[in-house]
Amino acid sequence: MERTFVMIKPDGVKRGLIGTILQRYEQKGLRIIQARLMKVSRVLAEKHYQEHRSKPFFPELIDYITSGPVFAMVLEGNKAVSTVRLLNGATKVEDALPGTIRGDFAISTTENLVHGSDSAESAEREISLWFPDAFTSSSSASDCL
Ligand code: RTP
Ligand code: MG
């Protein structure tokens, strides 16, 4: 079993796609371990996307991610990291295939609805960044399942 950090970005929340997107992850067999609708501070957004800080699209990316609430979550399942990336689809809008979340619903490379950690190491870093209490048993929703 593996855990990954997943986020429905502000365009997904604004367009009322939380339920539709969650259904795809759940139908695939991934389990929700943590979930939170939250406004993202610039500090958190910049830490999350630190690998892209020197890219030309970085300012636009930070403006976008902080433009409204996101639905942040931790999903668990067999090969959760790569499974979520497969369901999300390619980053570039013209490469995102029908059948993927981006391919079916996104029309922009920046506003592409969803994020999924790109490796087990990224997942660990991102889960502790977005859910700093997730490792204390008293705050873990998975204890209730
Ligand atoms: P994410 O991190 O959000 O899951 O997306 P990703 O791995 O598929 O793509 P990544 O290369 O990490 O890029 C992070 C996010 O930056 C925006 N982006 N804009 N305008 C552009 O050329 C461009 N390239 C990337 C997208 O929102 C992308 O998801
Ligand atoms: Mg990425």
Q: What domains are defined for the chain? A: 2-37+72-134 (3.30.70.141)
- Is 57 labeled as ligand-binding? yes
In angstroms, the CA 138 to CA 22 distance is 25
Report pLDDT for 133: 86
Over the stretch 66-96, which tens digit does the pLDDT of each residue have?
Answer: 999 999 999 999 999 999 999 999 999 999 9
% of the chain surpassing 70 pLDDT: 92
* Complex ipTM: 0.94
**142 close to ligand 1 (CB < 6 Angstrom):** no
- Is 91 labeled as ligand-binding? yes
Report the nearest-CA residue for atom 5 of ligand 1: 115
Report pLDDT for 137: 45
Report pLDDT for 145: 54
- Residue 58: what residue type? F
Report the nearest-CA residue for atom 8 of ligand 1: 91
Over the stretch 108-123, which tens digit does the pLDDT of each residue have?
Answer: 999 999 999 999 999 9
Contact between 99 and 93 (Cβ < 8 Å): no
Whole-Å CA distances, 44 to 2, 38, 39, 58: 24, 11, 10, 14
